[in-house]
Chain A
Amino acid sequence: MEDILIASSSQQPRQLSAEEIAEIEHEKTLYPDNKAVGLEALKIVQKHQGWVSDESLLAIARYLDLSVADLEGVATFFNLVYRQPVGKNVILFCNSVSCWIMGCEGVRSHINKTLGVDFGQTTEDNEFTFIPVPCLGDCDRAPVMMVGEDLHRNLTNDKVDTIVASYRAEHQE
Chain B
Amino acid sequence: MVENPLTKNIDMTRPPLVLADYVSNDGYQSLHKIAGGMEPEAVLEMVKDSGLKGRGGAGFPTGLKWSFVPRGEDSPRQKYLVVNADEMEPGTFKDRLLMEGDPHLLLEGMLIAAFAIGASKAYIFLRGEYTQSFMTLSKAINEARDKGYLGRNILNMGFDLDIILHTSAGRYICGEETALLNALEGKRANPRAKPPFPQVSGLWGKPTIVNNVETICNLPGILTYGVEWYHKLTKGKDHGTKLFGVSGKVKNPGCWEMPLGLTIRELLEDRAGGMQDGLGLRAFLPGGGSTDFMLPEHLDLPLDYEDIGKAGSRLATGTMIVLDDQTCPVGMVGNLMTFFSHESCGFCTPCRDGLPWVDAIFRDLESGKGKESDLEVLREHVDYMGPGRTFCALAPGATAPLGSGLKYFEEDFKEHIAKQRCPYRH
Q: Which A positions have Cβ atoms within 8 angstroms of B?
A: 30-33, 35-40, 42-43, 70, 73-74, 77-81, 92, 95-98, 100-102, 133-142, 146, 149-151
Contacts and interface: CB of A to CB of B under 8 A. Distances in A.
A74 B331 contact: no
B321 interface: yes
Contacts of A35: 185-187
Interface string B186-217: 11110000000000000010000000000000
A68 to B, nearest CB: 14
Interface stretch (B64-72, B138-146, B332-340): B332-340
Contacts of A42: 169
A73 B188 contact: yes
B332 A137 contact: no
Contact of B254 (A31, A40, A102, A140): A140
A81 B169 contact: yes
A140 B93 contact: yes
Given A78-B171, A100-B332, A135-B92, A140 B247 contact: yes
Interface string B96-137: 100000000000000000000000000000011111100000
Interface of B: 87-93, 95-96, 127-132, 164, 167-172, 183-189, 204, 245-249, 253-255, 289, 319, 321-324, 327, 331-332, 335-336, 339, 342-343
B96 A100 contact: no
A100 B249 CA distance: 11
B245 A146 contact: no
A31 B87 CA distance: 23
B332 A97 contact: yes
Shortest beta-carbon contacts, A-B, top 5: A78-B169, A79-B170, A139-B247, A140-B253, A36-B186
18 contacts: A35-B187, A36-B186, A43-B169, A79-B169, A80-B128, A96-B335, A100-B335, A101-B322, A102-B247, A102-B249, A133-B129, A134-B339, A135-B91, A137-B127, A137-B129, A139-B319, A140-B254, A141-B253
B331 A100 contact: yes
B255 A140 contact: yes
Contact of B88 (A78, A81, A100, A134): A134
Nearest to A142: B247
Contacts of A100: 331-332, 335
Contact of B93 (A43, A137, A149): A137
A92 B169 CA distance: 13
Given A77-B188, A134-B339, A135-B93, 13 more contacts: A43-B128, A77-B171, A78-B189, A97-B336, A98-B90, A101-B332, A134-B172, A135-B88, A135-B92, A137-B130, A139-B93, A140-B253, A149-B131
Contacts, number: 132
Contact of B91 (A70, A96, A151): A96
A98 B164 CA distance: 32
B169 A80 contact: yes
Given A77-B188, A80-B128, A98 B247 contact: yes
Nearest to A43: B169
Contact of A138 (B88, B93, B169, B331): B93
A139 B97 CA distance: 12
Contact of A139 (B132, B167, B321, B339): B321
Nearest to A30: B164
Contacts of B129: 80, 92, 133, 136-137, 146
A97 B171 contact: no
Contacts of A79: 169-171
A151 B95 CA distance: 16
A70 B321 CA distance: 39
Contacts of A81: 169
Contacts of B87: 137
A19 B104 CA distance: 31
Contacts of B93: 135, 137-140
A154 B349 CA distance: 38
Contacts of B164: 30
Contacts of A142: 247, 253
Nearest to B131: A149
A50 B343 CA distance: 24
A145 to B, nearest CB: 11
B96 A137 contact: yes
Contacts of A92: 129
B289 A96 contact: yes
Given A74-B187, A140-B93, A151-B132, A80 B249 contact: no
B245 A140 contact: yes
Contacts of A39: 169, 183, 186
A10 B327 CA distance: 54
Contacts of A149: 131
Most buried by A among B127, B170, B327, B331: B170
A146 B132 CA distance: 11
B171 A137 contact: no
Contacts of B90: 96-98, 134-135, 139
A142 B249 CA distance: 10
Contacts of B327: 101
A39 to B, nearest CB: 5
Nearest to B333: A97
A98 B260 CA distance: 24
Contacts of B246: 140
Nearest to B272: A140
